[in-house]
């Protein structure tokens, strides 16, 4: 074997891989069946340096890399040099890891269109069964460590120390290089190891983390104040809502009642005095009726004053408990991450926490992710209605591109028939909000199965609302529990595929907008692979679509 033999003919990349290799299908889908104009809009054109790489090529490289468990930009660069399939995609180009990383970080809004375009291709291939869909959340690790979390006090100290260190570094650079010079004009050994831009970027992350912590604290306080005001307004109108008073409203409500009782008695006293003066002026004698008692002696005033005193005692005790709880707190309390300030500590199944995000997915019964979002909320309950709305829009998109039946008639309708969700989405609002029919668990799967067999009730029915009780009853029927049993397979299979088969367990970019874009891209790759592995995406099918 002579490896030094030069090639006598130019190489033909079409001979490097067999015709049935799946990379050819991925290349064809991206280049011929997807509208990638949003990626092209940000392409480098003109100016200094060489023209930018073709966005279609970079999108295909990333899609093939994610489909093959490679997400590191350096590893992708290596594959583009050594792996035949990657070299075929690149067509003789070799993008470096910086180019790949910057392109991925600049996905922006283009990924939303990419996700929709892949969904359209899948719909045109006959995929997207919408009779039953499932909504589920999945925790995904951020590109940040939980060790980089800081409390509010820690962030303030860090910010103050950072400002001081940056000032010292800036002064040292000015002395070494001269004010107004960049520092790159001098030999390397003299140059500063960290640029001012890098220091400013770190200071910006600290400021964002502290601002986010303060914003969340203020939002929570505003919500408590709003509930208290609503209660007080209803109490002032004489129609206080039933149930416990909101925090901070107990004392205010008691003082309001005392004020109302005092004002009412004072009005009686002043009215009596006014009428007495008028009677004396007219007849020389006063009123024959007994005068009202002084305000402080009125029974209703004394009772209101006693209730206000008790409320002050309770409020002082509540504040004392809150202070003691803060002083005896086992954990650090609210924290923010200085590496990715948008990420949050997320509880995971089996116990423990990860620094990450909460991905929300709606999945069709044939395994397509039809709607997705990346959330900072550790819980799922507030995401039911937004995700069902997004799923409805996706269903309309699928229906618009679904192939016609064999007799030329339009394919089946695009409305979602039934939504399945676990107990994390349970609330009266989610059970009654507009949208398709739904089954939301009222407890753990084990409890539902026992209730369906009649061996135990499903949850504490006395403590639930009317819609929840109705749902619990529905899940005890044979039809209801049989339908709900589909949830885990439909909802959790894509999550298992992404985490285990694609080995995608951690995001590569930081900040919620970029992280959400990468997650949507990963879901689009999942859908593309689903079309490949189920046999819907074939050369013959693409030829038919093109025709």
Tokens matching residue 57: 């090529």
DSSP H or E segment with residue 311: helix 299-327
Return the pLDDT at 92.
79
Rounded CA-CA distance 339/267 in Å is 63
Helices and strands, counts by H and E, the chain: 19, 8
Strands 132-141 and 418-421: parallel
- 512-523: per-residue pLDDT in tens? 999 999 999 999
Give percent above pLDDT 70 in the chain.
73
Residues 86, 109 contacting (CB under 8 angstroms): no
- Count of residues in the chain: 547
- 249-296: per-residue pLDDT in tens? 777 777 878 888 888 888 888 888 888 888 888 887 878 888 888 888
Confidence label for 146 from pLDDT (cuts 50, 70 and 90)? confident
Asked whether residue 503 carries a pLDDT value surpassing 90, the answer given is yes
- 326-358: per-residue pLDDT in tens? 556 555 567 777 788 888 888 888 788 889 999
- 61-89: per-residue pLDDT in tens? 999 999 999 999 999 999 999 999 999 99
Q: Tell me what the pLDDT averaged over the chain comes to.
A: 81
Rounded CA-CA distance 99/58 in Å is 9
Strands 369-375 and 418-421: unpaired
CB burial string 274-289: b at 16+ within 10 A, e below: eeeeeeeeeeeeeeee
135 pairs with which residues across the strands? Answer: 362, 421
Residues 115, 523 contacting (CB under 8 angstroms): yes
Residues 162, 397 contacting (CB under 8 angstroms): no
Residues 354, 139 contacting (CB under 8 angstroms): yes
Strands 437-440 and 418-421: parallel
Return the pLDDT at 222.
64
SS (H, E, C) 428-489: HHHHHCCCCEEEECCCCHHHHHHHHCCCCCCCCHHHCCHHHHHHHHHHCCHHHHHHHCCHHH
Cα separations (Å) of 272 from 483, 530, 547? 73, 86, 96
Residues 348, 139 contacting (CB under 8 angstroms): yes
Asked whether residue 541 carries a pLDDT value surpassing 60, the answer given is yes
Return the pLDDT at 409.
43
- Which residues touch 497 (CB under 8 Å, ≥6 apart)? 526, 529
Asked whether residue 241 carries a pLDDT value surpassing 90, the answer given is no
- 90-109: per-residue pLDDT in tens? 987 889 999 999 999 888 88
Return the pLDDT at 405.
58
Tokens matching residue 401: 């591109």
- Of 73, 114, 110, the residue nearest 95 (C-alpha): 73
- Which residues touch 442 (CB under 8 Å, ≥6 apart)? 423, 426, 448, 458, 459, 464, 468, 471, 472, 475
Residue with tokens 């039911």: 384
DSSP H or E segment with residue 371: strand 369-375
Asked whether residue 410 carries a pLDDT value surpassing 50, the answer given is no
Residues 146, 355 contacting (CB under 8 angstroms): yes
- Residue with the bigger pLDDT between 437 and 236: it is 437
Asked whether residue 230 carries a pLDDT value surpassing 50, the answer given is yes
Confidence label for 458 from pLDDT (cuts 50, 70 and 90)? low
pTM above 0.95, yes or no: no
Rounded CA-CA distance 302/296 in Å is 7
Taking residues 491-505, report their average pLDDT.
93
Alpha helices in 178-248 (DSSP H): 196-236
Return the pLDDT at 396.
94
Confidence label for 181 from pLDDT (cuts 50, 70 and 90)? low
């Amino acid at each position: 074997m002579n490896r030094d033999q030069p090639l006598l003919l130019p190489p033909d990349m079409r001979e490097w891989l067999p015709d049935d290799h799946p990379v050819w299908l991925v290349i064809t889908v991206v280049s011929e069946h997807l509208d990638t104009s949003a990626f092209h809009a940000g392409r480098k054109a003109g100016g200094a340096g060489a023209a930018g790489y073709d966005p279609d090529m970079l999108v295909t490289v990333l899609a093939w890399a994610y489909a093959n468990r490679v997400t590191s930009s350096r590893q992708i660069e290596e594959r583009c040099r050594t792996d035949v399939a990657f070299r075929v995609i690149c067509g003789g180009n070799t993008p470096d890891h910086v180019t790949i990383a910057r392109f991925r970080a600049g996905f922006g809004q283009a990924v939303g269109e990419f996700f929709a375009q892949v969904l359209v291709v899948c719909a045109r291939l006959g995929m997207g069964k919408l009779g039953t869909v499932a909504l589920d959340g999945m925790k995904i690790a951020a590109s940040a460590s939980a060790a980089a979390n800081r409390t509010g006090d820690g962030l303030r100290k860090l910010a103050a120390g950072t400002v001081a260190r940056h000032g010292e570094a800036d002064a040292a650079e000015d002395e070494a290089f001269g004010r107004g010079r960049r520092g790159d004009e001098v030999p390397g050994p003299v140059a500063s190891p960290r640029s001012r831009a890098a220091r400013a970027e770190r200071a910006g992350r600290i400021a964002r983390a502290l601002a986010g912590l303060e914003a969340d604290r203020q939002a929570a306080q505003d919500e408590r104040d709003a509930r208290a005001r609503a209660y007080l307004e209803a109490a002032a109108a004489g129609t206080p809502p039933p149930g416990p008073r909101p925090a901070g409203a107990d004392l205010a409500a008691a003082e309001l009642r005392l004020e109302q009782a005092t004002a009412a008695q004072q009005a009686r006293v002043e009215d009596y005095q006014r009428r007495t003066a008028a009677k004396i002026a007219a007849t020389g004698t006063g009123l024959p009726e007994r005068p009202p008692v002084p305000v402080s002696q009125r029974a209703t005033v004394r009772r209101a004053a006693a209730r206000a005193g008790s409320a002050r005692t309770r409020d002082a005790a509540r504040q004392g408990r809150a202070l003691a709880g803060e002083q005896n707190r086992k954990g650090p309390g609210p924290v923010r991450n200085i590496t990715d300030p948008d990420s949050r500590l997320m509880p995971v199944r089996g116990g423990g926490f990860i620094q990450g995000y909460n991905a929300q997915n709606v999945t069709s019964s044939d395994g397509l992710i039809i709607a997705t979002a990346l959330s900072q909320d550790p819980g799922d309950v507030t995401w039911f209605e937004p995700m069902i709305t997004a799923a409805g829009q996706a269903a309309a998109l699928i229906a618009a591109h679904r192939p016609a039946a064999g007799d030329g008639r339009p394919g089946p309708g695009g409305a979602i028939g039934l939504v399945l969700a676990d107990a994390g989405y349970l609330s009266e609002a989610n059970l009654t909000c507009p949208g398709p029919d739904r089954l939301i668990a009222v407890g753990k799967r084990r409890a539902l199965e026992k209730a369906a067999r009649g061996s135990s009730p499903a949850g504490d029915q006395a403590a639930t609302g009317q819609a929840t009780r109705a749902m619990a009853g529905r899940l005890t029927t044979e039809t209801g529990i049989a339908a709900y049993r589909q949830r885990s397979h439909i909802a959790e299979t894509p999550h298992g595929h992404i985490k285990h088969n694609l080995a995608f367990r951690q995001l590569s970019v930081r900040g919620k907008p970029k992280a959400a874009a990468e997650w949507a891209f990963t879901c689009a790759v999942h859908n593309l692979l689903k079309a490949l592995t189920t046999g819907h995406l074939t050369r013959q099918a693409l030829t038919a679509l093109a025709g």
